Amino acid sequence: MILTRENLINFILAAMLLAVPFAANALGQPFYSTLATRIAILALAATGLNLALGLGGLVSFGHAAFFGIGGYVAGILAAHAFSGDPLLFGLSGSKQMWVIWIVAVIVSGLVGLAIGAISLRTSGVYFIMITLAFAQMVYYFAISWPAYGGEDGLSILVRNQFPGVNTMRPLTFFLICYVVLLLALSLFALIRASRFGTALQAARQNEVRVATVGIQPYRIRLTGFAISAAVTGLAGALFADLNRFVSPSMLSWHMSGELIVLIILGGTGRLFGPLAGAALYVIFEFALGGLTERWQFFLGLILLVVVLFARGGLLGLLAGKAKHG
Amino acid sequence: MTLALALEQLLNGLQLGVMLFLMAAGLTLIFGVMGLINLAHGSLYMVGAFACATVAAWTGSFWIGLIASLAAAAAAGAIVELVVIRRLYDRDHLDQVLATFALILMFSEGTRWLFGSFPLYLDIPPLLQGAVALPGGTEYPVYRLAIILAGAIVAFGLYLLISRTRLGMRIRAGESDREMIGALGVDIRTLYTVVFALGAALAGFAGAMVGALQSVQVGMGEPVLILAFVVIVIGGIGSIKGALLGALLVGVTDTMGRFLLPKILALFVAPAQAGMIGGAAASMLIYIVMAVILAVKPRGLFPAAHA
């Protein structure tokens, strides 16, 4: 890897995030570990969205669906493991994070495939609104289906387990999330540099040319969308374990909006954009929330100023313009 | 008895459809003329409802409140257009989504700031209280019928405005060729502000009318906004005719689905389960309808030529 200014900033960001919970631990302030874990998980979710939005130019306004589905996978598997009731076809639930992760990735990936298959027939504004509508469909389903808590949500009584460590320790759970985030960022970098990633980006830049050289943009985009959904679903499973609670609010369209906001705050299409954005967002939320009850108003104002006057986000400000548009 | 109930539900569906049309008409007009996707349209609906409730409580008259809601929503729309939206016309949809999402945060929190977290209540005006008898023996509230009528009048007025007046001609010209009407000497910036304020006024009117049925509270615009999106996606973005048909389709499908699906399922499974499955399925029904329509016609039922 070449040492560009952006790579250096990325490295500093990753190191700073890692340092926070250790410092918090040393100072006896575990709350800050939770804050750092929140940043890591939101960054993971936004990294998933960044695959579709940043590389593929697919403005999905429905990624909360995958985030929430991942969360519900964690909640439902844990609830069944706790009660001992079989889940489906005699299979039981699970308290093992890695089992939950695999199921979350598969389920959200498959739902992403189904939603993408219909939504990708359209483009532009239609795509934005359709992904939003599908996410609302999942949201209303979760609200009106009483078996797993309906509107009240579902609690996870004890955080799910990971072999060999105690996940109830804030620092340990942070490290798990941090490693998963780094793996997802590596996946993003790998995909971006691969033949598939090149085709996905080319389909964003010029669909006709991609089709002319014999690549079907639809298939490339659908694959990208499904992988994107799977990564966001994985983040949802971790988020459920962080809060030990899943509710339809994870599926709400505000969540979808927030995920897009994270990417834009950090810098669209950049590897570390989601992490920079998530860090900025959580810090804003925390700092403004401490200053005023009306922090959402000021968050909106800041966001508006960023969109209108500071395109390129935090990384654009720190590391200069992105290499591609 | 069941037939009368079905008729009542059908009217409820029509009433929902008419309200959705008022929202969707503004959204689709704004998209058709300016190419802008406006998430904050639901906030203008909320502004209309709050203005109506406040002024009605002040003056004691629902009607003055209704006029105030039109004025407040149109003014809020015009201000937002002049300060923010104007800068977004030549941006991509992603920027538009984000900026208007930011506006929602500001509108919602700002309204909570001004009015507190408690919902306001708006009484139905005395003239429209009471109920009329429907064939079959049930009664139906006059106010809901009045909403259907008011919506139909506004829809017809909008049709006249767009097809018969000079402003309407400019709007249609703006939809088909923006540069050309600018070149012909029409002040396109003012036209955009007027169209945006018109759409806002329609949303505010809908908010005020519905405000008397439900409580007036922060966030009331969001479920309606998303339904209005479904409407214009089904109808074809940019098409007023599509918005009207889409709105009626969505309104009636949603209401009848919630009424009929549990009953139909009850023929096959136990009543408790039928209620649960039927309720969950009904809440998804319009999205399924939308998916089916888009699978067949990706640009909606009445695709606008230049959208």
- Contact between B204 and B73 under an 8 Å Cβ cutoff? The reply is yes
Chain A neighbors of B235, CB-CB under 8 A: none
Report residue A42's pLDDT band, with 50, 70 and 90 as the boundaries. Answer: very high
Which CA distances in Å does B176 have to B32, B172, B194, B212, B300?
Answer: 9, 6, 17, 38, 18
pLDDT at A1: 57
pLDDT at B66: 92
* B110/A129 Cβ within 8 A: no
- Which residues does B164 contact at the CB level (< 8 Å), separation at least 6? none
In the numeric block, the tokens 């007025």 are attached to B157
Report residue A296's pLDDT band, with 50, 70 and 90 as the boundaries. Answer: confident
pLDDT in tens, B27-56: 988 888 888 889 999 999 999 999 999 999
Calculate mean pLDDT across residues A309-318. 76
Asked if residue A237 has pLDDT above 90, the reply is yes
Q: For the CA atoms of B258, B264, B269, B271, what is the dihedral angle to 10 degrees?
A: 50
Asked if residue B288 has pLDDT above 50, the reply is yes
Given B97, B279, B298, which is nearest A122 (Cβ)?
Answer: B298
pLDDT in tens, A102-131: 999 999 999 999 999 989 988 888 898 889
Asked if residue B296 has pLDDT above 90, the reply is no
Give the gap in angstroms from C-alpha B91 to the nearest C-alpha of chain A. 9
Provide the terminal-to-terminal Cα distance of chain B, rounded to the nearest Å. Answer: 47
ipTM over 0.90: no
| Whole-structure pTM value | 0.88
Give the gap in angstroms from C-alpha A172 to the nearest C-alpha of chain B. 35
* A296/B105 Cβ within 8 A: yes
Residues of A within an 8 Å Cβ radius of B: 53, 59, 61, 118, 121-122, 124-126, 128-130, 132-134, 136-137, 140-141, 143-147, 253, 257, 260-261, 264, 268, 294, 296-297, 299-301, 303-304, 307-308, 311
In the numeric block, the tokens 């039109």 are attached to B70
Domain ranges of chain B: 2-218
Chain B neighbors of A301, CB-CB under 8 A: 102, 106
Here the contacts of B149-156 (C-beta below 8 Å, separation 24 or greater) are B150/B18, B150/B209, B151/B15, B151/B18, B151/B19, B151/B21, B151/B22, B152/B18, B154/B22, B154/B202, B154/B205, B155/B18, B155/B21, B155/B25, B155/B244
Give the gap in angstroms from C-alpha B225 to the nearest C-alpha of chain A. 11
pLDDT at A195: 93
**Closest A-chain CA to B219:** A254
Average pLDDT, chain A: 88
Report residue B307's pLDDT band, with 50, 70 and 90 as the boundaries. Answer: very low
- Contact between A246 and A240 under an 8 Å Cβ cutoff? The reply is yes
How many contacts (CB atoms, under 8 Å) link A and B?
119
Asked if residue A322 has pLDDT above 70, the reply is no
Give the gap in angstroms from C-alpha A297 to the nearest C-alpha of chain B. 4
pLDDT at A325: 42
pLDDT in tens, A63-72: 999 999 999 9
Given B31, B109, B280, which is nearest A294 (Cβ)?
Answer: B109
Asked if residue B95 has pLDDT above 50, the reply is yes
State the best of B79, B92, B95, B101 to mutate against chain A, taking most chain A CBs within 10 Å: B101
- Which residues does A280 contact at the CB level (< 8 Å), separation at least 6? A265, A266, A314
Give the gap in angstroms from C-alpha B77 to the nearest C-alpha of chain A. 17
What whole-number percentage of chain B has pLDDT above 70?
Answer: 98
**Closest B-chain CA to A147:** B276
pLDDT in tens, B147-161: 999 989 988 998 888
Asked if residue B92 has pLDDT above 90, the reply is no
**Closest A-chain CA to B227:** A133
* B298/A121 Cβ within 8 A: yes
Give the gap in angstroms from C-alpha A60 to the nearest C-alpha of chain B. 10
Give the gap in angstroms from C-alpha A217 to the nearest C-alpha of chain B. 16
Asked if residue B189 has pLDDT above 50, the reply is yes
Report residue A90's pLDDT band, with 50, 70 and 90 as the boundaries. Answer: low
Given A124, A143, A297, which is nearest B110 (Cβ)?
Answer: A297
* A301/B102 Cβ within 8 A: yes
Calculate mean pLDDT across residues B71-84. 94
* B97/A128 Cβ within 8 A: yes
**Closest B-chain CA to A260:** B98
* A137/B288 Cβ within 8 A: yes
Continuous H helices in chain A: 5-26, 30-50, 64-83, 97-119, 124-144, 170-193, 195-205, 207-212, 217-243, 253-266, 273-291, 295-309, 313-319
pLDDT in tens, B163-178: 888 888 888 888 777 7
Q: Give the span between the Cα atoms of A274 and A139, in whole angstroms.
A: 24
pLDDT at A200: 93
Q: For the CA atoms of A294, A300, A302, A303, what is the dihedral angle to 10 degrees?
A: 150
State the best of B34, B38, B88, B105 to mutate against chain A, taking most chain A CBs within 10 Å: B105
* A125/B31 Cβ within 8 A: yes
